[in-house]
Amino acid sequence: SPFGAVMKIKLLLLLSGLCCASAFATPSNQSLEELAKIMPYESTFYQAIVAPLEMERMAIAQGMAQDNTLTDEQRKKALNTFDAYAEGLIKTLDSKAVKDGLKKSYLNAAKSFNQAEVDTMIAFYGSKDGQSALKKEDAVFESYMKSAGENNQKIIEDYEKKHLNKLQDDIKKILKK
């Protein structure tokens, strides 16, 4: 009947409106809380702290290795001192107050997603495969960065050999003024 067709069209329009609205809707606090339970925002933060510390430690070790005036014992003590500093920083950041702040920051940042995106992430990352992917993500990224660094190390070293002394000289000149 013509009336039935009109009702079907109205129902389809209503459903499509709901679907479209959820695609642009601000996510609910409840869904963001659910997302926060499954996303590794804490480990992401701690990795962002640890990675530069590791790079700094490597730079210190390289610098000391090139200094022939240092003994092995001095090098070891210097690295142990740096390690104690790094461990102190990490322990200081491992508190309830910091973790509460991280969650608040994540929840605020996650408001950039719309409701449909949050629902999709919850569905995937809440699944067995999604959790498996999240667990592998850190190892995949670490492996990628290691490989990318090794593959480009010569380019970086060549650039540093060519430009680092000039950079240091230029900075010294600027700071003397």
CA 46 to chain centre: 8
Average pLDDT of 77-104? Answer: 96
Average pLDDT, the chain: 86
For residue 23, pLDDT over 70 is answered with no
HSE, side-chain direction, 13 A CA sphere, residue 62: 7
pTM here?
0.67
Q: Which residue has the tokens 């695609």?
A: 23
Q: Which of 48, 35, 38 is nearest to 141 (CA)?
A: 48
* pLDDT tens string 131-151: 999 989 888 888 888 888 888
